[in-house]
Structure 1
Amino acid sequence: MRTVLTALAAVVVLAACGTTEAPVPETAASAEPSAAPVTVTDSRGKEVTLDRPATRVVSLEWGETEMLVSLGVMPVGAADVKGFATWDTAVKLDSSVRDVGTRQEPSVDSISALQPDLVVMEAERDSALVPQLEKFVPVLVTKGSDASRNLERMREDLEMIAAAVGKTGEAAKLMSDFDAALAEGKEKIAAAGGAGKPFVMADGWKQGSSISIRLFGKGALVSDIAERLGLENAWKGEVDAQWGLGTTDVEGLTVLKDPDIRFFYNASDGDDVFADGLAGNAIWKSLPFVAKERVTKLPDGIWTFGGPLSGQQYADALVKAFAG
């Protein structure tokens, strides 16, 4: 199968108009350990069969990139490598990892030039991309998010990727460590009197003079993590069914009246609309959690849509805020 994939990949590269990507020489097959074929059923319900566990993997989403590296598989290519380094510090990419374009519009030419034996991508990305890629490489499509069961979904995505790359033992260890960290964190928060305390998690952006605030509501991955720590999400506004996200403006935050609320936000790219854009806003300053100085900027590089390592980073930040 590898020989066929290599040949097809070469055809795609040569046929691409104006491409400057040079094919990457394939590593000698004799150097790879022998292994049995692997069949994995992805989020589409499709069986993806590989001759052996994948070693040359391209990842088109940051959460999946993190999962691969945490399993001990460095991808040969990834989408938006620079952005990943800014927003996800749970793992570090080698300098050898090639950037294959943005997460929204990855380059098929760049992917094929790397001669991967597997591409991993999320279900919500451009569905037209999948058949293009499947002309020359197997594609494993993860769920990415499910606001009805996001912690279970994260585990399933990790286990699915692990099966495809022959790292099921590593996946079990990651999840065991993650579960233990949440259990320990819950005990610490409870001991500090924080059990059941309300929290809000958000990020935001500015367009012109308008500031939009994105709330991580019930069912968002980071909300599920916080609830496993014994906390309660104070944002009850409408959220979408896949990501558990809702959008409002500063006026919309006035419904958050509980004086015990702690407000957390993410601004890893340095564009901090809460500390800068709202600094002189009277409504913002009047909010109970602002007046009581219970606003916490997360450490840079905690990806709120990541795998168990990012989830553990987030949990650690909440434990520090509630339990000291």
Structure 2
Amino acid sequence: MAVLLGALPVQASAGSWQHEQGTLTLEDTPKRVVTLNWAATEALLLLGVTPVGVADRDGYKVWVKEPALPEDVANIGTRVAPSLEAIAQLKPDLIVTSSEMAPAAELLQRIAPTYVASVYKDGTRPYEKASDMLTTLGEILARESRAEAVLEDIEHTLETQRQRLEEAGLTDRPVTLVNFLDDRHVRIYAPNGLFQHALDALGLGNAWPHRGSYWGFSVVGLEDIAPYQNSRMVVISPTLPGLADALASSPFWTYLPSVRREQVYQIEPVWPFGGVYPVKRLAILLTDSLLSGGSDNVR
């Protein structure tokens, strides 16, 4: 009997998973997956699965960068208004989206089984939600061990970067993490955002104490940062053309304590609304930048 059973073909069964819009039930492991947000795109790439189509493909390469997206992946429109026709033409067997696209979930379901998972929701911890999403997608795509390895690698990286900072004596002063919107206003990352997980793991304080939106940020004027005199400023690229010249003549900038101490650090883009990987990317870039020393300039 054992020989006969061993000779029978095995039908893969992915099972059922609860999600924000109901239950996803699959008979086979998906092969053709479309992702409608960058956190989901990132998660698939980390699992070693290249999506057949993504939303805002070209923007991913500017703002997210890592893990790298292959050139031949199809673009299916924007993240806020993807093309249902373009999605259908790709003949996916799984669509991954988030609650921002909830009104379209029924339409998407007509094209292919749809999994709805949101990293950013009021009252949640983004890194934990992103970890859960990665783990669940690992199960759905039969990549459980890969998901586990990714999370272990991130924790190892965080510990390594923390050791580097501690050995250099650079964990004694908090940081402010910002993106410039113009020469007067920044998006500042709050303690309830994704980046806080990286700061905590690195042993760095977040100088900005106020809770932000459920996306984990607030928009403030440069003058609002001035009271936090002990902080170092970390500017996340990209910045607007001509910003450096505008800041050079701006009293709102030149009188900031971190600027006067030449403790301004500019790093490459890190997507603040992604999954687990931006935490690793930020930890490495931030540690390297702090070890290299700051300036009073923004490029």
TM-score, normalization by structure 1: 0.81
Query: Which amino acid in the other structure matches residue 188 of structure 2?
Result: L
Q: Deviation of residue 276 (structure 1)?
A: 4.5
- The correspondence for 2:120, drawn from 123, 141, 145, is 145
Query: In structure 1, what is the equivalent of residue 212 of structure 2?
Result: 239
Query: In structure 2, what is the equivalent of residue 25 of structure 1?
Result: none
RMSD of aligned C-alpha atoms?
Answer: 2.0
Which SS does the other structure have where 2:203 is aligned? Answer: coil
Q: Deviation of residue 274 (structure 1)?
A: 5.3
Runs of at least 5 residues in structure 2 that lack an aligned partner in the other structure: 1-9, 293-299
Query: In structure 2, what is the equivalent of residue 17 of structure 1?
Result: none
Counterparts of residues 85-164 of structure 1 (less than 5 Å): 85-123=61-99, 125-146=100-121, 148-164=124-140
Q: Quick one: distance in 2 between partners of 1:140 and 1:101?
A: 19
Query: In structure 2, what is the equivalent of residue 39 of structure 1?
Result: 16
> Which digits, 9 at most, give the CA deviation of each residue in 1:108-137, with x for residues without a partner?
1111111111111122x1321111111221
**Shift in CA distance, 233/296, structure 1 to aligned 2, threshold 3 Å:** same
Which SS does the other structure have where 1:225 is aligned? Answer: helix
Q: Deviation of residue 96 (structure 1)?
A: 2.2
Percent same amino acid at aligned positions?
A: 26
Q: Deviation of residue 94 (structure 1)?
A: 2.1
Q: Quick one: distance in 1 between partners of 2:211 and 2:285?
A: 26
Q: Is the 8 A contact 1:204 1:273 kept in 2?
A: no
**Comparing 74-83 and 216-225, the one that deviates more:** 216-225
Runs of at least 5 residues in structure 1 that lack an aligned partner in the other structure: 1-32
Query: In structure 1, what is the equivalent of residue 250 of structure 2?
Result: 281
Which SS does the other structure have where 1:215 is aligned? Answer: strand
Query: Which amino acid in the other structure matches residue 84 of structure 1?
Result: Y
> Which digits, 9 at most, give the CA deviation of each residue in 1:54-102, with x for residues without a partner?
1111111112111111111100000011100111121222222110011
Query: In structure 1, what is the equivalent of residue 181 of structure 2?
Result: 205
Query: Which amino acid in the other structure matches residue 115 of structure 2?
Result: L
Runs of 4+ in 1 over 6 A off after TM superposition: none
Q: Deviation of residue 297 (structure 1)?
A: 1.6
Q: Deviation of residue 238 (structure 1)?
A: 4.1
TM-score, normalization by structure 2: 0.87
Query: In structure 2, what is the equivalent of residue 310 of structure 1?
Result: 278
Q: Is the 8 A contact 2:226 2:257 kept in 1?
A: no
Which SS does the other structure have where 1:41 is aligned? Answer: strand
* Count of residue correspondences: 282
Query: In structure 1, what is the equivalent of residue 192 of structure 2?
Result: 219
Query: In structure 2, what is the equivalent of residue 250 of structure 1?
Result: 222
